[in-house]
Structure 1
Amino acid sequence: MSNLCAATIIIAMTSPAAAADGGPINGNPLIEISAGPFVFGRDDGPENERPRRVIEGMAFSINRTEITNRQYRRFVEATGHRAAFYANHPVLGLDDRPVVGVSWEDAMAFCHHYGLSLPSEQQYERAARGTKGASFPWSERAGKAVPANFGTDSCCSGDARDGYPMTAPADAFADGASGEGVLNLVGNVWEWTSDVYAPYVGGTEAVNFGPYRVLRGGAWNSDPAHLTTTYRLAYDPEFRFAANGGFRCVRSKP
């Protein structure tokens, strides 16, 4: 898929707009996302984001931030699961930074350990863009000052214009929070979703990518074109060496 390189770079409290509960992951509460209709997809972006339509969403809760290295390490210590690939990196491995260097199955195992799951594409997009279909969690337009951690103007290198040459703390960029108060749904690290990559119902894209999963949100080394609430990236679920790929979890309502 074009722009696949955007997710494969290898090195070799906010607004209380929504209710939250402490959740099972210490230091990372679950933010409630209400049921109801919301806009999913868009018709004025890449072909794989089409068509735009209104979907009736179910209620769910989502982690306020990406899962951090500290939180992932507790999971490893409790279960004996393998460590993240960049666990000992001097920057990427810092306690408060999003964990990176995890495969799709690593992320699933973490969420399942806490009785949670990875978000679906629809859940991720609803949390990121609200009900009206905003292009960014904080507004419809990016504006001159983008409250997110991203990279150079062309793919795919990090820079320090936003204060962080690589990952930022998971609770940084409070001004970029979604309407419900969820942080860094765009920028910082790409995030695994539960879905297999495929065209949307009603879409026209031809696909021959195999059993790839979908990453959402862009990362610290993404150019602005990847920093929208609708951008979809097909990715090998077994690959665990991306220095810009992490995740967060959700709890679906019964």
Structure 2
Amino acid sequence: MFSAVAALIWVASATAGGETIPGNPLIDITAGPFVFGSDAGKENERPQRIVEGKAFAMNEIEITNAQYQRFVDATGHRAPFYSGHPSLGLPDRPVVGVSFSDAEAFCAYHGLRLPSEQEYERAARGMGGALFPWGNLPVDAMRANGGGSPCCRADNSDGYDMTAPARSFPKGASKEHLLNLVGNVWEWTRDFYAPYSGGTSPDIAGKYRVLRGGAWNSDPSRLSTTYRLAYDPDFRFAATGGFRCVRSQD
């Protein structure tokens, strides 16, 4: 593992350069009230309410295999499970086969962190509570890399059997021009899973982290800005799970 001194030097130089992860700029997300949750979605997406969001910056695209490999080469951290896969392992595709701690370590190395659920949702749906990053028009093959119905099976009608390049689907970009916040790969958030309303049962308290956004094999019901998936943080064998990082702005 890399030393603390080396990490500090890297963070300082990267911050000064203005692009912490080469090829994946941080996009500013402004502070202010926004719609969070959905009364029309699953029970665990309720209630919908207005929350006051803080300013932050988020990676424009999902972390790619090439970006993750540079981290592996520099630190000796373990490679992603699908490293070298003929499709999932391509350099421009989002990295998959990483656990929560793998994703957390990558972000920390770059002086960043994983987003909270609220940060993910604010970036994905804007302030007005849109169903999707592009607005309220339904998911289609021009806007997101998703799967068929019923879940969860691949569907190449969007041009890809599995993951698409991280810079695909510009018509599905968010208001701030972030790409693939819905579809392509699920994205780790830093929050433990708990219902928005009511207590957390002892068997799930502090056990699962939350994935957001849906993936290349997700049916349309899972491809939204509010869908929440509780997931084992230690599991690193999913071909559908990736991440991106954020930086606080205050």
Spell out, residue by residue over 1:116-149, the C-alpha distance to the aligned partner (whole angstroms, 9 max, x if none).
0000000000000000000100012316555100
Tell me, in whole angstroms, the C-alpha distance in 2 between the residues paired with 1:114 and 1:88.
24
Structure 2 letter corresponding to 1:32: D
Tell me, in whole angstroms, the C-alpha distance in 1 between the residues paired with 2:156 and 2:135.
23
Spell out, residue by residue over 1:82-103, the C-alpha distance to the aligned partner (whole angstroms, 9 max, x if none).
0000011000000000000000
Spell out, residue by residue over 1:156-182, the C-alpha distance to the aligned partner (whole angstroms, 9 max, x if none).
111210000000000000000000000
- The CA deviation at 1:154 is 1.0
The DSSP-based 3-state class of the residue aligned with 2:224 is coil
Whether 1:186 and 2:193 are equivalent positions in the alignment is no
Contact 2:88 2:162 in 1 (8 A): yes
- The CA deviation at 1:23 is 2.3
Contact 1:22 1:28 in 2 (8 A): no
The DSSP-based 3-state class of the residue aligned with 1:161 is helix
Structure 1, gaps ≥5 residues long = 1-20
Aligned counterpart for 1:70 among listed residues 46, 51, 66 = 66
Which residue in the other structure is 1:15 paired with? none
Identity %: 66
The DSSP-based 3-state class of the residue aligned with 1:234 is strand
Tell me, in whole angstroms, the C-alpha distance in 2 between the residues paired with 1:68 and 1:214.
20
Tell me, in whole angstroms, the C-alpha distance in 2 between the residues paired with 1:154 and 1:205.
31
- The CA deviation at 1:44 is 1.2
TM, length-normalised to structure 1: 0.89
Which residue in the other structure is 2:121 paired with? 125
- The CA deviation at 1:209 is 2.4
Q: How many equivalent residue pairs?
A: 232
Contact 2:139 2:220 in 1 (8 A): no
Structure 2 letter corresponding to 1:236: D
Tell me, in whole angstroms, the C-alpha distance in 2 between the residues paired with 1:147 and 1:224.
12
Aligned counterpart for 1:167 among listed residues 157, 163, 168 = 163
Whether 1:233 and 2:246 are equivalent positions in the alignment is no
Which residue in the other structure is 2:88 paired with? 92
Contact 1:168 1:188 in 2 (8 A): yes
Contact 2:194 2:200 in 1 (8 A): no
1:39-78 mapped onto 2 (5 Å cutoff): 39-78=35-74
The DSSP-based 3-state class of the residue aligned with 2:44 is helix
Which protein has greater RCO, CA pairs closer than 8 Å, 6+ apart?
A: 1
Structure 2, gaps ≥5 residues long = 1-16
Structure 2 letter corresponding to 1:244: T
Tell me, in whole angstroms, the C-alpha distance in 2 between the residues paired with 1:40 and 1:168.
28
Contact 2:114 2:244 in 1 (8 A): yes
Contact 1:158 1:165 in 2 (8 A): yes
Contact 1:138 1:175 in 2 (8 A): yes
Tell me, in whole angstroms, the C-alpha distance in 2 between the residues paired with 1:92 and 1:143.
23
Which residue in the other structure is 1:109 paired with? 105
In angstroms, what is the RMSD of aligned CA positions? 1.4
Structure 1 letter corresponding to 2:148: T
Whether 1:209 and 2:204 are equivalent positions in the alignment is yes
- The CA deviation at 1:204 is 4.1
Structure 2 letter corresponding to 1:177: A
Please state which structure has a larger fraction of its residues in helix.
Answer: 2
**Consecutive aligned runs of 4 or more in structure 1 exceeding 2 Å deviation:** 143-146, 204-210
Structure 2 letter corresponding to 1:209: I
Query: In the superposition, relative to structure 1, how do residues 146 and 209 fare at CA in structure 2: closer, same or farther (>3 Å)?
Result: farther
Contact 1:47 1:205 in 2 (8 A): no
TM, length-normalised to structure 2: 0.90
